Structure 1
Amino acid sequence: MDDWSGASVPAIDGIRVGIGGWNFVPWRNNFYPAGLVQRRELEYASRKLSAIEINGTYYGAQRPSTYAKWAAETPDGFVFSLKAPMRIMQSRVLAKTGTQVDDFLGGIASLGDRLGPVVWQFDIGRKLEREDFTAFLDLLPAEIDGRRLRHVLDVRDSSFVDARFVTLMRERGLGTVFTDSRDYPSFADLTTDFVYARLMRSRSEIESGYTTEELGHWADRARSWAHGRHPEDLPYIAVNGTPAAEQRDVYVFFISAAKERNPAAAMALIEELKR
């Protein structure tokens, strides 16, 4: 048996670090061991990271048996976050998507205790109407099969992301995404008892995607979030009204940009957090 097959990477002070997906050809040259068969890539990745964001579900939900299989290939303590299918967020009337929402959430319940946050991504070009959007939030259940659901609203319409949006998320106890992006709204307002960050600035010319100094700063910010504070060097819309918390669970994903470097960035951040 491989020496990594039974290992796991626990959350560090409630901080989980991961990447988007696990099937990416360049990773077979700089992340996965030489000769590792593709069917074992999830098994390997889930023992080097503490979370993975599943992007494929954005393009189409899977069968419950597939989610159960993914869960079985990962170690205790590991979690997935998942993007909801885009057909839901692209519906003309969001308030009428209840059946689709229930079907998707019913399927991913098969992940059991591996189920982490659920991301509802509204892409650029999708103009939202506040009343319809608020009605959509009413469709998001607080739990499924007795397990709490953590919903994350990733709204990329910059005209919609304002103090009213932040206040609504706080009233509902829903998460938002800190994108650290030049292309999407990037704000670090805390709206609930967990933080969801998607770091999108890795660079190909750096082996670890980010410099050691940059990773040190992200480790400091993650620790600040985990201890209920908000980092003072990030952009905010409405700091006043931040929900009080002694501690928060934190999810940090290295996404997009120089994707080939993201596993190295995630593992380097995990090592930085251990210091």
Structure 2
Amino acid sequence: MADVRVGISGWVYPGWRGGFYPAGLVHRDELRYAAEHLTSIEINGSFYALQKPSSFAKWRDETPDGFVFAVKGGRYITHVRRLLDVETPLANFFASGVLGLRDKLGPILWQLPPNMQFDAGRLDTFLTQLPRTTTAAVALAERRDDKLPDDRVLAATDTERPIRHALEVRHPSFAVPDVVAIAREHGVALVLADTAGRYPRIDQRCADFAYARLHGDAELYASGYTDVALDDWAAKVRDWTDAGLDAFVYFDNDIKGYAPFDAMALLSRLG
């Protein structure tokens, strides 16, 4: 039976306190509270900097059994190196404690910058380097450099598990059949992104799971979803699961605090 995960991108938002987070809730309990109301969360701090193994272990332990995290890949790989010569940065990323999530590790999200144009060779090379199992990730992590001190390294896995990858593209040059073909060859999901028309909306099935990021349909990051729009997304998710695909949906319309409420409303529609 296909699995459905609905959640939010990140959870540390001061503006949500007194709204989604009840007044008086201790800040350190916010992840626990969010995980009680949702079924998945994207870790986006990993996009800005390598996290600590102790942080991944803490997040794992603070969430209920069956909960799943997606993890956003580092911007050093996607935005600074722009996918070129990234074997060592990838090794550092997987050595930083990601595998410490254990059975709560969901897909790894790779978001490309808006000004990065499609290059078939570059994309194919990058996707080829991504580990598809936790064992392969350990082998890659062992090639890390000395930028990671020993006390910030977790290059081990408790058991063999598959690792899924999702790719979010933003330059219009990616809206071509060659991108879909390369993603399918590697079993990487192309993110269906709702961005109020700013970035390409690619709706193609390329892997054994589907991944959607809802940044806002009327206004980027700052608009809530109407009942009609949520009904439409519920229908889309059912289409995916009817086709045997697991589904991961994350709301990133966080500026005015809509994201967690929209996520809960979609979960309610999906039963």
**What band does the TM-score fall into relative to the shorter chain?**
0.7 to 0.9
Shift of 1:259: 4.4
Match of residue 133 from structure 2: 143
Q: Quick one: distance in 2 between partners of 1:54 and 1:140?
A: 18
Q: Quick one: distance in 2 between partners of 1:225 and 1:131?
A: 29
Shift of 1:73: 0.3
Letter in 1 for 2:212: A
Match of residue 266 from structure 1: 263
Cα 1:35/1:154, change in 2 over 3 Å: same
Match of residue 164 from structure 1: 178
Matched, 1:187 2:184: no
Q: Does the 8 Å contact 1:54/1:82 carry over to 2?
A: yes
Q: Does the 8 Å contact 2:2/2:245 carry over to 1?
A: no
Matched, 1:249 2:246: yes
What stretches of structure 2 of length at least 5 have no aligned partner?
135-156
Shift of 1:128: 4.2
Shift of 1:203: 6.8
Q: Does the 8 Å contact 2:118/2:173 carry over to 1?
A: no
Structure 1 residues 224-239: aligned runs within 5 Å: 224-228=239-243
Shift of 1:115: 0.6
What stretches of structure 1 of length at least 5 have no aligned partner?
1-11, 229-246
Shift of 1:201: 1.8
Cα 1:209/1:170, change in 2 over 3 Å: same
The percentage of aligned residue pairs carrying the same residue is: 41
Counterpart secondary structure, 2:37: coil
Match of residue 36 from structure 1: 25
Q: Does the 8 Å contact 1:43/1:74 carry over to 2?
A: yes
Alignment RMSD (CA, Å): 1.9
Match of residue 127 from structure 1: 117
Shift of 1:260: 0.8
Q: Quick one: distance in 2 between partners of 1:132 and 1:202?
A: 31
Q: Quick one: distance in 1 between partners of 2:237 and 2:69?
A: 19
Shift of 1:92: 4.3
TM-score, normalised via structure 2 length: 0.84
Match of residue 216 from structure 1: 231
Counterpart secondary structure, 2:36: coil
Matched, 1:196 2:193: no
Counterpart secondary structure, 1:253: strand
Counterpart secondary structure, 1:32: coil
Shift of 1:156: 1.2
Shift of 1:90: 2.7
Letter in 2 for 1:269: L
Cα 1:225/1:54, change in 2 over 3 Å: same
Q: Quick one: distance in 1 between partners of 2:9 and 2:82?
A: 29
2:65 paired residue among 76, 99, 115:
76
Shift of 1:61: 1.5
